[in-house]
Amino acid sequence: MLKEQFLQDLKKVYELIKERTARINSLYSLIDNDKQKEYKLLKNALKICALRPTKQNKIAILTRIINLREDMIVTALEQSGKNKDEIEKALFALYDETAKFHIKHHKELLKKIEKERLLSPFYRTLINGIHEIGIALTAWQPKWTKHIINTINPMLLSEFKDDKNIIIFLKNNALFDINSDGTLADRSYSVLIKDNDGYKSVSYAVAFWQDAEKTAKLITKLTTKLEIQNDDIYDAKEAYILYLLTLKNALLTKENSKLIAAWQDVDRVWMSIKTPIQIGHMLEYYEDHYKKAVALEWDIRLCNPQNQNDDRTQSRILKMYEKLFLKAGGKQHVYEKSVKNVKKSLLFISRPMLYYAAQFNGLFSAQVVPNDEFVSQECGKKIFAYPDNILESIRAKPFMKISNEVLGTKFLRNERELIFKKSSIWHQIYEITTIGHEFGHILWMDEDTESMMNRNGVFKNIEEFKATTGGLIAFFNDLDDTLLPYVVSDIIKRSIGLISCMKTAEIEPYYCEALIHLAALFESGILSFGEKLEICINTQTYTNLIEWYSHTYLDLAKHYLAKKDAKEFLDRFAVKDENVYMPVDKSIKRFVAYYWELYQAIGRDIDTNDSRENWI
């Protein structure tokens, strides 16, 4: 009976999160209404950035606060004439405003849970403690960003001129973290410090001791409270406590040689927690392109108790992988490793319940973790997907002029039919393209694949394409003709939209992925560009596209199995041009340049030909 009541409480909390998301998304109405009491949030943010209250600037601010994306506000600040230092100052101030806004909503949610006595005492104690830790990590995150992203990395680039030279320098001077077997790790929990003798690497605990110590004390405070509680629902008390204590140990580890092992222990214990209340910790790197320092992620993902255990995508992926592996000619142990990891992966259909620190610079649309292949071989992976959240976010955003200008009315009408009128089909497309993407990450990987392929520091810039295309090939091999047009439209829309992130460093892997997808779309004849973009969708171009992906994905699989430098594959499609990646193909390059220029001009303009109100 206890568990039945707990599941009912989970449903209530899931609905409370849905209501909170709707309230946050509704703030887009401030663009045309300065009489709402919430307008002071927007007014204050505009003042911080010294921006005029135009519609374009308002939507840039609201996109930063609501959707946690910086690309629009960076464009707005640049176009207003702000210099680099002024932009950095404004972005840090907006981070603080965004964090305060969302933490306020977190507190309101926690108060409701407490007032209605939802969940159990153990889980209420747990989530309140995670919240306290999250506030501490939120204060730590700007220091992490200032030191690594805004100080050390520009120094490295200035001194060594390009990414390749920086990676060579870091390797030659033993500045990467190392695995327990002495090999180079594919990520770091340490930062560079420069002194009179040059650069040295120190752990987070050494570089940010006060923040690490404060976080550790809050973890101790939480575990002490949990010790006197009982988890009568899932009997996961000991697992949560061990996880938190192992996390504290990793945060306080000072010796660089012990860092990777300490964080591997965190991931191992974390993998044993399988309850609907999942904690997300420091798992991934995207911001730091050189030393691959893991960001300060921290959150709780609440699983939807009514939408779990669907293994369709997993079955498609396994079927495709078995078929292709024979063609790719890889070693049997790699095949067995990937299959084992796919089968052991746990899929959690979730909502972000609480989120902090690095998450205030962008939430995941989905995630597969841990990245550590040693841990995954032992324990498998967890896949998190947030379809409800993503769909609600898409529905809430104003329609943008640039979409109509580039994609045209017919294309957008079909897209809006899908988003607003065909939610069940939308969820199937999300499953193919997004959940398929996360399973796609698992394939073709050996323990040292990432470190071997990352010799020029661009592994992530092909890995995201590998992941998405794995999901696509699995779908193409088990083709549903009724869904194919929607899948292709999703590829078109996402690939073009990501051009706007050309200069957003932490999204570079997805931007590079988009450039490769654009090669597929142009070479298949689906897209062409003269003075305007032309979209040609018919049986022949569909066939061309599927053949292109099938051929290219097999080539990529062989590239992974041979553990070749990722740059060799990326160079076929995109190369650095004035410090940003641009397509190799001249026609695609002209289109990307056209879209980027158009984005600078009208990327923040709202579409006056149609509005979401017509579709609600």
pLDDT tens-place string over residues 482-524: 999 999 999 999 999 999 999 988 899 999 999 999 999 999 9
Co-location of 99 and 156 in the same domain: no
Predicted confidence (pLDDT) at residue 300 exceeds the cutoff of 90: yes
Confirm whether 380 is domain-assigned: no
88 plus 57 within the same structural domain: yes
**Beta strands 346-357 and 382-385, pairing class:** parallel
Domain endpoint, select from 235, 257, 275: 275
pLDDT of residue 328: 93
pLDDT in tens, 46-79: 999 999 999 999 999 999 999 999 999 999 999 9
In the listed set 275, 299, 319, which residue is the last one of a domain according to the structure? Answer: 275
146 shares its domain with 269 = yes
Q: How confident is the model at residue 257 (pLDDT cuts 50, 70, 90)?
A: very high
Q: CA separation (Å) from 81 to 58, 91, 245?
A: 17, 15, 48
Look up the domain containing 239 and give its range.
120-275
Does 482 share its domain with 605? yes
Same domain, 104 and 136: no
From the list 21, 20, 16, 14, the residue with the least C-alpha distance to 277 is 14
Residues 556, 557, 558, 563: is their CA dihedral positive or negative? positive
202 is a domain residue? yes
Question: What is the rounded average pLDDT for all residues in the chain?
Answer: 94
**Number of domains within the chain:** 3
The reply to whether 422 and 559 lie within a common domain is yes
Same domain, 421 and 443: yes
Instruction: Give the per-residue pLDDT at 36.
Output: 85
Looking at the fold, whether 105 and 125 belong to one and the same domain comes out as no
Res 259 pLDDT > 90: yes
Please indicate, yes or no, if residue 298 is contained in any of the structural domains: no
pLDDT for residue 614 is more than 80: yes
Asked if residue 109 and residue 124 are part of one domain, the reply reads no
Considering the domain architecture, whether residues 600 and 505 belong to the same structural domain is answered as: yes
The answer to whether residue 322 sits within a structural domain is: no
For residues 330-354, give the mean pLDDT.
93
Does residue 308 have a pLDDT over 80?
no
- Arithmetic mean of pLDDT, 252-274: 97
In a domain, 305, yes or no: no
Same domain flag for 421 and 506: yes
pLDDT, tens only, 540-566: 999 999 999 999 999 999 999 999 999
What pLDDT, on the 0 to 100 scale, is given for residue 309? 55
Produce one character per residue of 443-476: b if its CB has 16 or more CB atoms within 10 Å, e if not: bbbbbbbbbbbbbbbbbbbbbbbbbbbbbbbbbb
Same domain, yes or no: 403 and 522: yes
User: Average pLDDT of 403-426?
Assistant: 96
Q: What is the pLDDT of residue 587?
A: 97
Which among 66, 95, 118 is the end of a domain? 118
